[in-house]
Amino acid sequence: MDVRPVIVMTGATNGMGRLAALDLARRGASLGIVARSRPKADALRQEIEQVAPGTPVDVFQADLSLLSEVRAAGEEIAAHCPRIDVLINNAGLHAFSQRVTTEGYAEMTAVNYLAPWVLTDALRDKLIASAPARIVTVASRASRQAGTIDPLNDLTDTADFTRRGSSPRYGRSKLMDIMFTQELARQLQGTDVAATCCCPGFNATGLGRELPLAGALEKALTALNIGNPQHGADIIVKLATSPEFAASAGGYFAAKTGKPLQCPEIGRGDAVQHALWKATADLVHDS
C-alpha cells in the first residue's frame, strides 16, 4: 500500500515552486502538478525522477488565467486522486501593464487570487475527506502596498495601469490571498484542514520578466545571493509538511524565520474578509 502523502501544486515548473517540488519529492511525496506548459511539466517530471526515483507525478494541464480551465483541472484532480493531503497555491504573476483575459478578468487578479480560490473550492470536499490536510497559499508582504481594498470593485477592475501603478495592483492581489486564507481557516474549523499562507521573501528568479534588462538583473542579484528562491521554497515546504504548522489555521508566515506576520490592517478582520469571500463566490459561481 502506497502511503506517500499526495500534494497538489501550482507554479511548480519554475523558480521557488520547482525547488519546493523537488524537495517534496525527496521527502517521499506523490505530486500532482497543475501547469500550463506540458513540455515544462515533463521536464520537471524528468528532474524529479533524477533526484527522487520512483516518485509518482501526475500532470494536470490548465491556464491559470482562465477560471474555466482551473475549475476543470480541479474537477479532474478530485476525480483522479483518492485523497489529497496538501494543496499548494503557489503560481503567481506580476504584470507591469494591464492584460484582460478572454473571460474578462485582469490577468494578475485571475492568476494570483481567483485561480487559487477556484482550485481550492473545487478540491475542498476532497481535502476535508482526506483530513488531516493542509492548504498553503503563497501571498506576499507586497500586500502592504495595496492601499485600499474594495472587494466588489477590485475583483472586476480591468482599468489600465502604468509600470509604477502595477505595485498596488499586485499588492492587492496578494492581500486578497491572505484574506482568503484567514476566512477559509474560519470556515474549516473542526475539519482538521489547516489553511495557511506565507510571504516567500524577495525572489530574483523570474524577476520582472516584462522589465528591460530583467535577465541581467536577475543574474546580478543571484550572484550576490539576493533574492534566493530557496528561502521561499523552504517556507512552502515547512507549511506543507512540518508538524509545527499542522494546527496553524489562518496563519501568515515569513520566509527564512517562519515567524508569524499580520495581515495588513485594511484587510484584517472577519467582516472585510467575509465580504471578499462572498463577492468572490458570487462572481465565480455566476461565471
CA distances from 105 to 34, 63, 173 (A): 20, 13, 12
* pLDDT per residue as tens, the chain (287 positions): 568 999 999 999 999 999 999 999 999 999 999 999 999 999 999 999 999 999 999 999 999 999 999 999 999 999 999 999 999 999 999 999 999 999 999 999 999 999 999 999 999 999 999 999 999 999 999 999 999 999 999 999 999 999 999 999 999 999 999 999 999 999 999 999 999 999 998 764 554 555 554 455 455 445 545 568 999 999 999 999 999 999 899 999 999 999 999 999 999 999 999 999 999 999 998 76
Question: Could you identify the residue written with the cell 507586497?
Answer: 142
The answer to whether residue 170 is catalytic is yes
Specify whether the CB–CB gap between 216 and 224 falls below 8 A.
Answer: no
139-156 per-position pLDDT tens digit:
999 999 999 999 999 999
Specify whether the CB–CB gap between 134 and 156 falls below 8 A.
Answer: no
Amino acid at 151: P
Nearest residue to 8 (alpha-carbon basis) of 106, 89, 113, 126: 89
Question: Could you identify the residue written with the cell 477590485?
Answer: 154
Burial pattern 69-87, b for ≥16 Cβ within 10 A else e, equals bbbebbebbbeebeebbbb
Instruction: Examine residue 132 and say whether the peptide bond preceding it is cis (omega within 30 degrees of 0).
Output: yes
Burial pattern 1-33, b for ≥16 Cβ within 10 A else e, equals eeeebbbbbbbbbbbbbbbbbbbbbeeebbbbb
3-60 per-position pLDDT tens digit:
899 999 999 999 999 999 999 999 999 999 999 999 999 999 999 999 999 999 999 9
Catalytic residue among 105, 113, 170, 252: 170
Task: State the pLDDT at residue 129.
Answer: 98
Task: State the pLDDT at residue 82.
Answer: 96
Task: State the pLDDT at residue 207.
Answer: 45
pTM for the predicted model, two decimal places: 0.93
